[in-house]
Amino acid sequence: MGIIDIEKLTPQKDSFIDDELKKSFSGLLVKVEIVGKEGYLYFLFEHKSHPSKNITLQLMKYMAEIWETKMTKESTKLPIVLPLVIYHGAQNWDIPTTLGELLDGFHDLADKIKEYIPTYKYILYSLPSLDDDEIIGEVRLRITLMLFKYSHTDDVEQLLLIFSNIKNALSVLEDPQLEEQFFITCIIYILSIRDDITPEKISKNLSDEGRQTVMSVAEQLRKEGERIKQFEIAKNMLQSGMDDSQVIAFTRVTKKDIKQMKKELK
C-alpha cells in the first residue's frame, strides 16, 4: 500500500452500478493519489450468498465507464483504477480473479499474442475466509466487516453476540451522536437482511437504552414498509384509470404524492 496516499482518500458520488444489479452489488469509488498522481480505488461489494460469475466483466465495464467519463470531461491521460471486490457470501469464492482465466485458450497463446488481448486481475477481500482477528481497522470499519462476514451465517447466536458488543465497541468514538447514528445503521442492516432475526432477539442482551433504540427503529421500518406498500397500491390504481380523489381516499397518499407518481409513470 506504499504507492497509495491513504491520507488523501476522497469518496466520489458515482458508483456506476446498473439499476438492475443494485440488489446484488453496491459500489464505492474513492479518489486517491497513486504514485503521486490522481487515481481511484473502486470497491465492489458482492451481496449475494454466492459469487457472481460475471463479476470480472462487470468490473471491467465499470472501469471503462470511469475512464470514459474522465476522458470526456478532461481529455487527459487516464487515471489508474484499482478494482477491489468485498465478498461476504455463504459459499467459498471459487471463480477466477483474472479476465484471462475466463478466456478459453488464453493461457495456450504465445506471450506475443497475449499482448494484444486485454486482461487484468482484481483484488479479492473474501470475508468468510478470514479469521475474526484478521479484520482490523477503525472501529466502525471492523464492526461493518464483522456484520458482513456473519450476515449469512446459520449461527444466529454468533451474529447476535457481535451485535450485543457494538455499543461498547463504539464508546471509543467519544461522540454520543455519532455512536447512535452508526448503531441505528447497524440495526437497520440486520433487520433488513435477516427474516429470522427479530427486534426482540437483537435487544435481549442490550441495555434499556439500547433496547429502546432497537424497538424505535423497528417501528420506523414497519411504518416505512407500510408506506411503500401504499405507494405501490396507489400507482396500480392510477394505472388502472381510477380518479385521483379515489386513490387518495383509499391509500391516504397526498396530492403531492399523486403528482410525483404520475411523473414516474409517464
Amino acid at site 201:
K
Assign 241 to helix, strand or coil: coil
User: How much is the pTM?
Assistant: 0.74
Residue that has been written with the C-alpha cell 482465466 in this structure? 101
Residues 24, 216: Cα–Cα separation, whole Å: 28
Domain shared by 92 and 144, yes or no: no
Cα of 164 vs its chain's centroid, Å: 23
What pLDDT digit, counting tens, does each position of 136-195 carry?
Answer: 888 998 999 999 899 888 888 888 888 888 988 988 888 889 999 999 999 998 888 888
Residues 82, 3 share a domain: yes
Q: What are phi and psi of 88, to 5 degrees?
A: -140, 35
Domain shared by 101 and 118, yes or no: yes
Rounded CA-CA distance 77/71 in Å is 8
Mind listing the pLDDT tens digit for each residue in 181-218? 999 999 998 888 888 899 999 988 888 999 999 999 99
Of 128, 174, 175, whose CA–CA distance to 151 is shortest?
Answer: 128
Domain contains 257: yes
Owning domain of residue 150: 137-206
Strand order in the sheet with 4-11: 4-11, 25-34, 37-46, 80-87, 123-126
Q: Are residues 189 and 241 in the same domain?
A: no
The proportion of the chain whose per-residue pLDDT surpasses 90, expressed as a percent, equals 27
What total number of domains does the chain contain?
3
